[in-house]
Every structure is written in C-alpha cells, then in structure tokens.
C-alpha cells in the first residue's frame, strides 16, 4: 500500500490529541479497537485514522476538521482504502467531510469498478437516563453460551427464521458462528429465542450495543424495549455508559432508543458501495 499511512499501535500519540478525544464517543468503533490485541489501525500520525477490517467490509475513518478542505489528503485516504482490496467497502466517516469524500472515492476507484450504492446518516446515540433495575420477566433473558448445545440451537433457529429478512442465504452458517462468538443475550420464551442483543466495543467509559433484533412476528409487543432496558441496566451496573449506532431513517429504532433514555450525540455518514460489473 503506497500512501502516507502506516499501521499504528493502540498507544499512538494521535489518540491523545484533543480533537480525537472529543470524537472518541462518536467513533467508539475505532476507540474500542484499541483494546484488542492487534487491530488493523492506520494513521498519518497527524489528523487521520483508518480502521480496516480483518474480516468483512466495514471501514471506519476518523479525520480532524482540517481535512475537510484538504483535497489531497482526502484523495490519499480514498486511494489507501482502494488499495486495501476490500470488496464492496462500507465506509463510515464524519458528516463534515462526507460531501466531497463520496465523489473522490468514486473517482479513485473507477478502475476497480466500484460505485456508491447508498449514502446514509448513522446516528450515534448515548444513554442519558437514570440507573434502574433490569427487567427480566422471571429469567427469560439469558446470556448465550456457545458451548451449550441448547443455546446454539436457539441462535441457529433464530437466524434461520430471519434469513430472508437479513438476506443471509449464502452466509447463514458463517453469521451464526459470528454471533455465537459475540457477547450475546437472548429473550427466550417456550423454548424459542424471540429477540437478542449483542454487546461489542468496550472502552474505559462506554460499552456499545451492537444490535437489538426481534423476530418479525414478535415486534410491537414490547420485547425490544425489555431487551433494551435489560442491557442498559447491565451496562450501567458496570459504571459505564451505553452507546449505539442506528440509521437516522429507522423511525422504529430511533423511537425505541429515545423511549429507553438515549439521546442523539452526533451523526456519522455511511457510504455503501457495490461493484458495477
């Protein structure tokens, strides 16, 4: 990869900068990667950080405000992501630099046959409510153990039921394994998982709620709200704050999280790409 970016350690000086610290909640995904053993984090050591996935296609980019008007630096970032050979990258970046980045990325990757498929606003939400006792309906919410065959069956049956909705027909087994390896909580009734919540992104101050999923037939029955309250309670009991991301146009999710006590902190721009051929 021939650009100005180098792989950095989780203790690099750029993480101590005032501007990055101010954005560390917004970019919890990058910040939490510092707590893993060997994150693929790259930087110019001044005003940009790029997180490339070892698996998957989600690319997270943090930049200082100075880059907003620095066309050459934005081009460098585009070329670096292009040369990483990530297939159909999904790029998360600050709103303030997103206006030009999408067009520049399209130009930089034109020879690779990429096109911007979708551009969405992603809301970063942080919990701002009171600490409370967890709702758990006499033990209906469990912590999934991937070594427990009954729990494995619960997860497998849940995602098979969601396969059409998630478009996972060609990757169902892999996605089930991924979820079993995560910190997963499940709402179980009559031997079936009706909903689950995934936790990810632990830092000194925050724990990220990666997802809350409810079976389509069980939605609007209050299960998502119970799961959300339960997980918020577990996180605040650890003296940390919950944070999560969701699409701003997802009215149901935004309403659920607002009802639970989350507030909008800021927005990230998501650029989804696809191959033209």
64 and 92, same domain (yes or no): yes
Percent of the chain at pLDDT above 70? Answer: 96
188: in domain: yes
- Cβ neighbours of 142 (radius 10 Å): 18
60 and 103, same domain (yes or no): yes
183 and 219, same domain (yes or no): yes
Q: Which residues pair with 215 in a beta bridge?
A: none
CA 64 to chain centre: 21
Sign of CA dihedral 118, 163, 215, 234: negative
Sign of CA dihedral 270, 76, 26, 162: positive
96 and 190, same domain (yes or no): no
Q: Which two tokens stand for residue 266?
A: 């800021």
CA 7 to chain centre: 21
Contact 266, 135 (CB under 8 A): no
Model confidence pLDDT, tens digit, residues 62-89: 999 888 888 888 889 988 998 888 888 8
In terms of Cβ atoms closer than 10 Å to its own Cβ (0-12, 13-18, 19+), residue 99 is exposed
176 and 206, same domain (yes or no): yes
Please report the pLDDT score of residue 37 as a whole number: 64
First to last CA, the chain: 24
Q: E-strand spans in the chain?
A: 6-7, 41-43, 48-51, 58-63, 90-94, 114-127, 141-143, 183-189, 192-202, 206-214, 241-247, 262-275
99 and 18, same domain (yes or no): yes
Contact 199, 183 (CB under 8 A): yes
1: in domain: no
Q: Which residues pair with 114 in a beta bridge?
A: 275
Please report the pLDDT score of residue 1 as a whole number: 42
96 and 160, same domain (yes or no): no
For residues 113-125, give the mean pLDDT.
Answer: 82
Contact 42, 5 (CB under 8 A): yes
Model confidence pLDDT, tens digit, residues 7-60: 998 889 999 999 999 999 999 999 998 877 677 899 998 899 999 988 888 999
Q: What is the DSSP secondary structure assignment for residue 60, as one 8-state letter?
A: E
Interatomic CA distance for residues 155 and 179, integer angstroms: 8
Interatomic CA distance for residues 89 and 40, integer angstroms: 15
| Residue 118 pLDDT greater than 80, yes or no | no
Contact 130, 181 (CB under 8 A): no
Q: How many residues does the chain have?
A: 277
50: in domain: yes
Give the residue, 245 or 165, on which the prediction is more confident.
245
271: in domain: no
Sign of CA dihedral 141, 253, 264, 23: positive
188 and 243, same domain (yes or no): yes
Which backbone phi and psi does 57 adopt, to 5 degrees? -135, 15
Model confidence pLDDT, tens digit, residues 172-210: 998 899 899 999 999 999 999 999 999 998 998 999 999
Domain extent, residue 147, equals: 141-260
> How many domains, in total, are found in the chain?
2
277: in domain: no
119 and 167, same domain (yes or no): no
52 and 24, same domain (yes or no): yes
177 and 256, same domain (yes or no): yes
39 and 94, same domain (yes or no): yes
Q: pTM for the full model?
A: 0.86
Q: Which two tokens stand for residue 178?
A: 């991924």
């Amino acid at each position: 990869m021939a650009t100005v970016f180098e792989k950095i350690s989780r203790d690099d000086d750029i993480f101590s900068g005032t501007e990055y610290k101010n954005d560390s909640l917004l970019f919890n995904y990058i910040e939490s990667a510092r707590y893993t053993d060997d994150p693929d984090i790259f930087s110019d050591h001044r005003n940009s950080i790029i997180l490339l996935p070892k698996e998957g296609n989600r690319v997270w980019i943090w930049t200082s405000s100075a880059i907003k008007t620095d066309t050459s630096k934005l081009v460098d970032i585009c070329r670096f992501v292009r040369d990483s050979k990530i297939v159909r990258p999904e790029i998360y970046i600050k709103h303030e630099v997103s206006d030009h980045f999408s067009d520049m990325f399209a130009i930089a990757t034109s020879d690779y046959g990429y096109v911007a498929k979708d551009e969405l606003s992603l809301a970063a939400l942080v919990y701002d409510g009171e600490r409370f006792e967890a709702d758990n309906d006499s033990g209906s919410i469990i912590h999934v153990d991937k070594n427990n065959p009954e729990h494995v069956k619960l997860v497998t049956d849940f995602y098979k039921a969601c396969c059409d909705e998630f478009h996972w027909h060609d990757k169902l087994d892999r996605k089930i394994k991924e979820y079993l390896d995560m910190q997963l909580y499940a709402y179980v009734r009559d031997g079936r998982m009706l909903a689950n919540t995934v936790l990810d992104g632990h830092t000194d101050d925050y724990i990220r709620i990666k997802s809350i999923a409810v079976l389509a037939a069980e939605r609007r029955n209050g299960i998502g709200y119970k799961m959300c309250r339960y997980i918020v309670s577990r996180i605040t009991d650890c003296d940390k704050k919950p944070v999560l991301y969701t699409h701003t146009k997802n009215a149901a999710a935004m309403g659920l999280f607002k009802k639970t006590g989350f507030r909008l902190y800021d927005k990230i721009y998501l650029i989804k790409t696809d191959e033209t051929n």
